[in-house]
Structure formats: C-alpha cells, structure tokens
Structure 1
C-alpha cells in the first residue's frame, strides 16, 4: 500500500470514529471545521486525500491533534515511531514535503514535524486555535517565515517560535533546499 493509500485509509477510519465519539453529525462537523459536508463524506469513504489545511481544520474541530486523527495507536508511556510509520502529509512536484514524526495528546495535542522546502516552494497555513505555539529550527538553507503578513528570514542554525493563531506561511526564497524540524503545541479543547 502506498503512503497516499495508507493516509487515505487511516483518515477515513479515524475521522468517522472521532466524529462518532464526539456525537457530531456530518453537518455539525462541517460547520465547526469550515469544511463542506461533501468533503467529509468523501474523506470518510476514503475517496479523497484532503489538503493539510483541511486535515488541520478537522482535527481542530474535533479537539484532537493530527497525530490522533491519523489513527496512531495510543499505547505505553514510551512510544517509538519507526521511520516507515511517520506519515507524509504534504508534498509538491518540486520535491518539498512535510512528515509528521510523532505526537502526543498530553496536556493538549503536541506534534513534532520534519520539513523540506525546495527552492521556490511555499506552504501557507490558516490560523490555528488561540494559544497554539509553533517552534522550529532550520538545519539547512534559509527559511522565510511569514507570520500575520510580516516576513522573517530564518537561516540555518536559527530557531524561531511564534503564536500560530494568525495566518502564517513557510517559504523558500533561496536557491538551496530548506530543512527544518518543527514542534506544534495546541491547547486542550474545552
């Protein structure tokens, strides 16, 4: 099974399960997430692979992390996630990608990501729930971090943090690939 097939099947199972556990109808989840009812039906029937933005909106509306939405098993205190079980969430034809490495629900969703942005590529993100914090460290290249319309150059070896309750984007305006590791902490849903 390909990475895309694995992601599609996992999302289908998990979204249906979590929607049921929360007692949300299709219409209720659509309204909470700002995602069409038809899109939710397609995801639950494994007929489509939604964008990262749609997946984040659904997880936020359910009050869970993307890690949980992707059907990771919650197990013992120490949980090892081998490379082959990390889930590729986003990629471009140019070769950019993101991979969800590991996450936790302890004191709210907390996720660790690995990113690669090829020259000229960018990824835009909608605002996350209030209280969400992102931390990142660039290990290669120079990232252009855009937070609420303002750009910040983040060269290799530099770390950054920001409150992610505003629109934000990650761009590679340079000529070499950008590699970074990012952690996202989302406050617990109330």
Structure 2
C-alpha cells in the first residue's frame, strides 16, 4: 500500500470515529446500522486495511454523512477545488486501474464525481446502493463493459449511460483491450440522513 493510500485510510478512519462518537454510538451500534462487521469497523477506524467502496458507502450511509464527507476535507466554502493529483484513490484494480473521488457534496442529497481508469482485465463490481441512487457514466478513453442488473453494454469513447445505482452493477475493461479505459462517473444519492434503525 502506498503512503498516499495509508494517509487516505487514516483520514477516513478519523472521520468515521469522529462521526460515530458524535452520535454517541458504540462500535457495535455502527456495525449493526451499517451491516459492516465490528472487526471491519475497528480496522477502518484504525486507518488499516483497504476497505472497499461498498463498505465505505454502507458506513457513510449509516452515519448519514455521504462518502465525500469521509474522504474530502469538510469545507463550508462556495467553491472547493481539488488540484490534479490530489484526489484520493478509493479503489485499485488487480491490473493497475484506480478510481479517484475527485469531488463531492454533503447530505442530504449527495453527488459524487469519480475519475475511473481500468487497465485491460480490470473489473469492479458494486452491490446496490441506497434506494433512488442514480449514476451517469461518460467514456473518455477505451472500452468499458457496463453491467447493470442482468444487462451488459459495451461503451466506447464518447458513449454515455444513465442507470440505476440501486441495483447491482459493475464496470470492466476486456482483458484483450488494446489499452486502458477511462471514464467519468457521477453518482447521485438522495436523502442521505443516517436515520436507518
């Protein structure tokens, strides 16, 4: 794990602990509310391991803060700029791909902007996000196989898609692709409140 990944994990861990304790929740309560094991919550709070995006989403949903709040510096400014090379990588593919969370908003309606790169053979599978989540994808380079539920579509440069993020979905680049794929992804997650029992 790189120093940058360790630093991101430490920031996420501090923020999870901060939001959990601000609510007066024990580790067990956060685990119950998020559906993430107590052991994994402890690992995340200690800034260790490499939690999946799905795990971080479950925790941020339970806390009612949205994933960008756990990753980005919370700023009340009207403009937030993330300089090139400064966005945290929250996913790393087996073949060198990565997903960068480049911008995001705070609850109650969370919007995330991602910059994904998939090397040939890389794939990411995501479980269904919270009800009402929608995603927009624009292919900037290469070819992306987008799977939503039981349907898969191959998208190439300039192709875009709008799809439900509240069903299982995934992104992949064919193993025999001539080069990497790159796409911009926007995720809209409405009504993030953390009020789930």
- For residues 75 and 191 of structure 2, the distance between their equivalents in structure 1, rounded to whole angstroms, comes to 17
2:187 match:
184
TM-score by length of 2: 0.90
TM-score by length of 1: 0.93
1:49-71 alpha-carbon deviations (Å, 9 max, x no partner) = 31222112111222222110124
CA RMSD of aligned residues (A): 1.6
Give the total of aligned pairs: 190
1:66 match:
67
1:74-121 alpha-carbon deviations (Å, 9 max, x no partner) = 231011111243101111241111001011116511110000011111
Larger mean CA deviation between 115-124 and 83-92 belongs to 83-92
Contact in 2 for aligned 1:112/1:181 (Cα 8 Å): yes
2:163 match:
162
Structure 1 outlier segments of 4+, above 3 Å: none
Contact in 1 for aligned 2:66/2:192 (Cα 8 Å): no
Shift of 1:158: 0.8
The runs of 5 or more residues in structure 1 that have no matched partner are: none
- For residues 185 and 168 of structure 2, the distance between their equivalents in structure 1, rounded to whole angstroms, comes to 16
Contact in 2 for aligned 1:133/1:186 (Cα 8 Å): yes
1:25 match:
26
The runs of 5 or more residues in structure 2 that have no matched partner are: none
User: For 1:126-141, what aligned pairs fall within 5 Å after superposition?
Assistant: 126-141=127-142
